[in-house]
């Protein structure tokens, strides 16, 4: 199995619903997003997927979140904008365009990360 990882980032504000503590108040993060794609074989050029293509795919999704108030986006009006749910949102949107996506990691700071995958 060949795996590649690409990273992107975005800055956005949010506040958590049904939560007691500092994060119930409006605040922001500079999130770092990592995606892992896996392939069983390489193309004729010796690549699983061109990094440029994988980066653009991720950036297209993350760009919709950048400099937004996440709670006001349609998806997060119904879903709490936690890092876990942000990872799921990115996963679902990237997976629609590349079936080889295996996981999305969303870092809200240097020490805290949520990962979404459908792998066991």
| Nearest CA among 72, 65, 83 for reference residue 19 | 83
Q: Return d(Cα 47, Cα 39) in angstroms, integer.
A: 10
| Nearest CA among 84, 83, 102 for reference residue 94 | 102
- Strands 68-69 and 2-14, by their bridges, are parallel
Annotated catalytic residue within 108, 110, 113, 119: 108
Annotated catalytic residue within 3, 23, 24, 27: 23
Contact 58, 64 (CB under 8 A): no
- Answer yes or no: 23 catalytic: yes
Helical residues (DSSP H) of 1-120, grouped into ranges: 51-62, 74-78, 83-95
- Answer yes or no: 67 catalytic: yes
Annotated catalytic residue within 67, 110, 113, 119: 67
**Residues carrying an active site annotation:** 23, 67, 108
């Amino acid at each position: 199995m060949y795996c590649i990882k690409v990273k992107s980032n975005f800055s956005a504000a949010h506040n958590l619903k049904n939560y007691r503590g500092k994060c119930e108040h409006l605040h922001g993060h500079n999130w770092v997003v990592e995606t892992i794609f896996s392939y069983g074989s390489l193309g004729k050029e010796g690549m699983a997927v061109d990094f440029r293509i994988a980066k653009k795919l991720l950036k297209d999704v993350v760009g919709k979140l950048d400099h937004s108030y996440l709670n006001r986006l349609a998806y997060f009006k119904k879903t709490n904008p936690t890092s876990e749910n942000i990872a799921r949102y990115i996963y679902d949107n990237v997976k629609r365009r590349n079936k080889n996506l295996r996981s999305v990691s969303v870092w809200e700071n240097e020490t805290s990360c949520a990962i979404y995958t459908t792998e066991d």
